[in-house]
Amino acid sequence: MIRLDLKIDKNEVLRYLGYRGGEIDDKLNNLIDECIDRIIKSATLRVIYKEFNISNDMSLENTLYKFHGEDIKAHLSGCKKCVLMALTLGVKVEDIIRTAGISDMSRSVILDSCATAAAEQAADNVQGLIEKEYKGKFLTKRFSPGYGDMPIESQQDFAVLLDTARKIGLTVTKNNILLPRKSITAIIGISDVKTKGRLSGCKACLIKDKCNFRKEGRTCDIKR
């Protein structure tokens, strides 16, 4: 397990809130700053990652896990190794978002957006850490269960392979929901030759038909 400092980009928070530019009033600006500070102080960011060898049949060596879905197979094309990663902001973040929702839904929504931005930024930072560790190798962007046609059930396997429940307090429900909710699992391919991985985008997203960003002519820009 490793530990990283947690930071939150206010611009990302505004994007998750549906902000389209222009001025925001002082009251909202101060509330966002307050929520950012609250999430940072409440979060217990815990991270774990582990390297695995990939067999020719797209299974992970010395495990019972095998990749399913053409998208993840294409993403890992040319990769002989991979890194599975998982992170969580901890249970206290869930508690303050839920508690705020009882009496102040606006604050709860902002807290939720701050926590989402924090988790995504933490995942980017973990990827950067892994890239430094594998300097000289070619790495794909991260790819999470449920993205493209990769089964969401892979969350269960990732949790077992990384022993997340014991090591970082991250579990998976029978409906494949990560708990604490502000958590991320993902895979990064490692190759000796240049590889692009699978091209990400709206067309491959499972919620593209329900996405509020797409309805507004925008994208979420989540890095995979």
Is 90 exceeded by the pLDDT of residue 61? Answer: yes
Tell whether 174 is covered by a domain.
Answer: yes
Give a yes or no: residue 209 inside a domain.
yes
Q: How confident is the model at residue 204 (pLDDT cuts 50, 70, 90)?
A: low
What is the enclosing helix (H) or strand (E) of 129? helix 105-133
16 within a domain of the structure (yes/no): yes
In a domain, 41, yes or no: yes
> Which domain covers residue 56, as residue numbers?
10-215
State residue 202's pLDDT score: 56
The yes-or-no verdict on residue 66 having pLDDT over 50 is yes
> How many other CB atoms are found less than 10 A from the CB of residue 156?
18
Q: Domain count of the chain?
A: 1
CATH code of the domain containing 115: 3.40.109.40
What is residue 224's predicted lDDT score, i.e. its pLDDT? 39
Q: Is residue 2 in some structural domain?
A: no
Q: What is the mean pLDDT of residues 209-218?
A: 50
Q: Is residue 50 part of a domain?
A: yes
Q: In this predicted model, what pLDDT tens digit does every residue of 147-170 receive, in sequence order?
A: 999 999 999 999 999 999 999 999
Specify the pTM.
0.86
Angstrom distance (rounded) from CA 26 to CA 30: 6
The reported pLDDT for the residue numbered 21 is 75
Q: Each residue of 179-188: pLDDT tens digit?
A: 999 999 999 9
In a domain, 223, yes or no: no
User: Is 4 inside any structural domain?
Assistant: no
